[in-house]
Chains A and B, each alone.
Chain A
Amino acid sequence: MSNAPFAKEFDFASCALRPEGWNRPPVMETDGEGELLEVSMGPHHPSTHGVFRMDLALDGERVIRLKPEFGYLHRNHEKIGESVSYLGMMPYTDRLDYICSLTNNWAYALAVEKLAGQEVPERAEYVRVILGELTRFQNHASAIGFLIQDMGASGTPLMYAFREREKILDLFESLTGSRMMCNYMRFGGCRVDPSEDWLNQVRVLVAGLPRFVDEFDRLLTSNEILMARTQGMGILPPDLAVNAGVTGPMLRASGVNYDIRKVDHYSIYDRFKFRVPLGEVGDIYDRYMVRMLEMRESLLILEQALKDIPAGPVIDPKAKNRGIRPKPGEAYGRIEAPKGELGFYLISDGSGNPYRYRIRPPSLINLTVLEDMCLGHNVADVVLIFGSVDIVLGEVDR
């Protein structure tokens, strides 16, 4: 196993805070031979993970310029939010990042709870943590699977990941009624109380998952092709990552210790012991490795939460959901979603609909640095660098 993560935290004092080249990626020079080829990659390219397009300028195989183009999946989610009641928006949030619907629910519920000043019972917090960490686990497993698939290992690692994801989704289905569009969290708690039987099923599953991570680790981490294709590729310097608002595993792979679970102590994350994996180089390999190690940390959190979960109500009996009318005001609530900081900004004017409903999408903002990471690399590596960002277009375009 690589010794890169858990190594050294990025020292903010070590970098000048205002280097000149930040705000724009460097302008690349061609070697003067041949002509510049402009390629429109996507929106139907299989490696773009959905309807995403980038305009590339190529000098031979080398990328000289890259401009991401968005909006193919745009449905003006935020406008819908302004015309639907607060509770009515909950199922829509499932459709943002459709791989991790439960964390989307959680972030939205958290923002509305802040806006309306609602409390969440203890058992509900535990259930949220359990579901959130299961979501993070399956997201990271499939993100790694997709990354390896983009590399050309057609199928096998992705199917390993999907085999475990399937077990987790089955549990989601038996609790919430749906595998991916869970619509489970409510303002002031959760929708249904998980039975002891369901919790036991999760316990059995979580006890078996470290074996899967070990297997995955043995299969991939020291694989020669993976190392050759990812090490030193698509390096993201930590100062640029901070300045460009990159969050989540991608930020931590660059060595910046910023995990909202540790910083904000939202929900009950201060009760659990877990570490924050950090990368050293900030290349694709570190991003892969940080996800791998975060899966292990998620399992640690899950074990603790499943041990300590108390009895009690799963939703505050006085909590109002249907027809909730928060007092005029505004709130910004954010959580550490598997892909980065997912925030909801709500303004209430005292009516039943939000006056303003805004989502801070981690996937979109993490793509700000795509051009900086890709310049000078080959097209085949652009596919990998893009895959290592881990985006879902439902959230990018909203």
Chain B
Amino acid sequence: MKTIEEIKAGIEAAVPGAQVELVLNPGPSAQHSLRIGPEKALAIAWYLRDEKELELDFLSNVTGVDWPEKEVAEKVNVTRTVTKTVDGVEQSVEEIVEETVKRVVPGCLEAVYHLYSMQKKHGPLVLRMKTENRSDKVTLPSLTSVWRSAEFQEREVFDLYGIVFAGHHDLRRLMMWEGFKDHPMRRDYVEPDDFEYEPTPHDEVLKRAAAHREAQQQTAAGTEGVAQ
């Protein structure tokens, strides 16, 4: 298989205007990945599948990753003008001071695709796509039309992470039930106290009973007060 840099160069040559970014994996597994821009993702996918030396015809794994907004503290060297007394004379001297700056990294959702070739028997190539944010701009192009194995897996990512795959012909929840509101695999998901709660006919009866009991207690307390 070609090296990841060669694949990147190949994509840039074959798909004009494609945004491809190399994401290095610092771990020992050294499975580096390519982050592609969503605009040209389909063209890139077709290229990767049909290019004669790659023929990545087998999309093994599709998954989502949630990267919530986080605050990063960085130490920065800043040049400051400081007034100092040097040899008895007050002077303004420029000095390099180390300061901690807090920076907010915006959150995003990420879809990760692992590609192999059954024909050439090589792989994996890891593709990633990023949404703009985690709330309203969460649409990514679906690659189901290129590899059908993404069909259920993209539905699962939509269900559990909330990434909307444009162009998926049957984008419904896969695991959670219809009418479920949230996306449980997000890092900030808080499960409700009783998410299996369903109103039953008994609830009304119980409510009436509780109200009756309350009214009885009140009257009991009232009569007690009168007796004293």
Identify the A interface with B (CB < 8 A). Answer: 12, 17-18, 22-24, 70-71, 74, 76, 78-79, 114-117, 240, 242-246, 256, 258, 263, 326-332, 334, 341, 343, 345, 347-348, 355-356, 358, 360, 364-365, 367-368, 397-398
Contacts and interface: CB of A to CB of B under 8 A. Distances in A.
B28 A242 contact: no
Contact of B29 (A70, A117, A341): A117
B141 interface: no
B228 interface: no
11 contacts: A17-B50, A24-B169, A70-B174, A71-B174, A74-B175, A79-B185, A243-B57, A245-B148, A329-B26, A332-B61, A368-B151
Contact of B58 (A70, A242, A347): A242
Contacts of A345: 61, 63, 112, 114
Contacts of B176: 71, 74
A327 B147 CA distance: 33
Nearest to A251: B118
Contacts of A18: 50
B65 interface: yes
A90 B221 CA distance: 59
A116 B184 CA distance: 28
Contact of B148 (A244, A327, A329): A244
B18 to A, nearest CB: 20
A348 B27 contact: yes
B149 A365 contact: yes
Contacts of A240: 148
Q: Name, among A115, A242, A368, the residue most crowded by chain B CB atoms within 10 Å (CB to CB).
A: A242
Interface in B128-156: 144-145, 147-149, 151-153
A242 B144 contact: no
B27 A243 contact: no
A351 to B, nearest CB: 13
B119 A12 contact: yes
Given A24-B169, A347-B65, 19 more contacts: A17-B49, A18-B50, A71-B174, A71-B177, A76-B184, A78-B160, A79-B185, A115-B29, A116-B28, A243-B57, A245-B59, A258-B58, A328-B27, A329-B26, A330-B25, A332-B61, A332-B114, A343-B61, A356-B63
A362 B137 CA distance: 31
B29 A245 contact: no
Contacts of B149: 243-246, 365, 368
Contacts of A245: 58-60, 147-149
B175 A115 contact: no
Interface residues on B, range: 35 or more
A143 B177 CA distance: 30
Of B28, B112, B169, most buried by chain A (CB within 10 Å of CB) is B28
A243 B148 contact: yes
A14 to B, nearest CB: 12
Interface in B169-188: 169, 173-177, 184-185
Contacts of A329: 25-29
A244 B59 CA distance: 8
Nearest to A74: B175
Contacts of B55: 12
B152 A367 contact: yes
A193 B5 CA distance: 44
Contacts of B114: 332, 343, 345, 360
Contacts of A12: 55, 57, 118-119
The 9 A-B residue pairs whose C-beta atoms are closest, nearest first, are A329-B27, A245-B149, A117-B28, A331-B29, A71-B175, A74-B175, A360-B61, A244-B148, A114-B29
A256 B57 CA distance: 12
Contact of A368 (B63, B148, B177): B148
Most buried by A among B173, B174, B184: B174
Contacts of B152: 70, 364-365, 367-368
Nearest to A239: B57
Interface string B90-122: 000000000000000000000010100011010
